[in-house]
A = this chain, B = another copy of it.
Amino acid sequence: MVPKIKDVAKKAGVSVTTVSRVLNGEKYVKDDMKKRVQRAIEELGYAPSHIARSLVRKKTNLIGVIVPDLTSNFYSTILSSIEETASMNDYNLLVCNIIEDIDKEFKYLNVFHEMRVDGIIIMHEKINEEISSFLTKLQVPVIFSSVRPRDQRFISVIVDDYDAAYDATRFLLDLGHERIAFIGGDMRDVTSGQSRYVGYCNALMDSGKKIVHDYIRFGDYKIRSGYDMMKELLRCDPLPTAVFAVSDDMAVGAMNCISDHQLKVPDDISVIGFDGSQLTELVRPTLTSMEQPIHDMGKITVETLLGLISDDEHAATSDIILKHKLVVRNSCKKL
């Protein structure tokens, strides 16, 4: 039904080899033949089967992407950038949304293997030993984007989470805040969990403040948990004057909780987020945030992966650290 190379060859009165050659833009095809082949292709509406090509070329131009949550603005923005860069380089994306489901992840990694993807991008760091070793056996380039797994065999594209969290906390200290609460991530996460927590602590200590455990909570990066953790923080006495949440989503949750309790941001409590997602501009007051270069992150992730795939001698061999940047909006106030 759908035309194949043989049909084109017959119609043009040449061999399939010749058709293949004009398809692949090889020289050494007489103009006359090329013209005939092109006309036949046109008339038949022929497009070569990527499937068949992949089989013989041993290259699929497919990249498997594992996203923890597609509905999160942060991830969907990175994904958007990944898609853009991949598309420009003639790669296509097989997208998997795992929603914290480790079994689904494993299933998908198997699919990626069966599909013989050329490379894999993973955007969460909660990989276990089983997945880690499966990934290694796969013999396919793997890259982590925006997170760094504990297993140092893999390359990550990230910001310096420790520095970024340190700077965010420092910013609040410089505004004169003394009672700074912290809504962290999962401490099992190396980057967004541990590093950001340690950055917060060290900034406090370096400026002679002590760490108050009542002011410290851990969520799961989502709006809801920011809200819930803030609710707990509002029971503290005295109240914190500022909150640093390690994701914009949690920061927005915290802001909403504050406003639902008839308090004002930033007059009563200042809030600073982390990520630089679109939420920052969307909420009122707009959210000051320690931003990751989300767009570049996606772009560089793909470019680095393509380097690995093509076995480029200049390909990355270690983590790529991008610059974070504090963007001041209206959610923090000088004390």
Contact = CB atoms under 8 A, between A and B. Distances in A.
Interface of A: 1-2, 45, 47-52, 54-55, 60, 69-71, 73, 76-77, 79-80, 83-84, 87, 92-97, 99, 104, 107-108, 110-111, 113-116, 137, 139, 223, 252, 256, 259-260, 278-279, 282-284
A1 B71 contact: no
Question: Lowest 4 A-B CB distances belong to which pairs?
Answer: A70-B80, A50-B114, A76-B76, A95-B95
One complex includes copies of this chain to the number of 2
B94 A93 contact: yes
Contacts of A48: 114
Contacts of A256: 282, 284
A71 B83 CA distance: 12
Contact of A70 (B54, B79, B260): B79
Contacts of A60: 51
Given A70-B79, A93-B94, A116 B54 contact: no
A137 to B, nearest CB: 6
Given A95-B95, A97-B84, A139-B1, A116 B70 contact: no
Nearest to A114: B50
Contacts of A55: 49, 51-52, 55
Given A1-B139, A95-B93, A116 B50 contact: yes
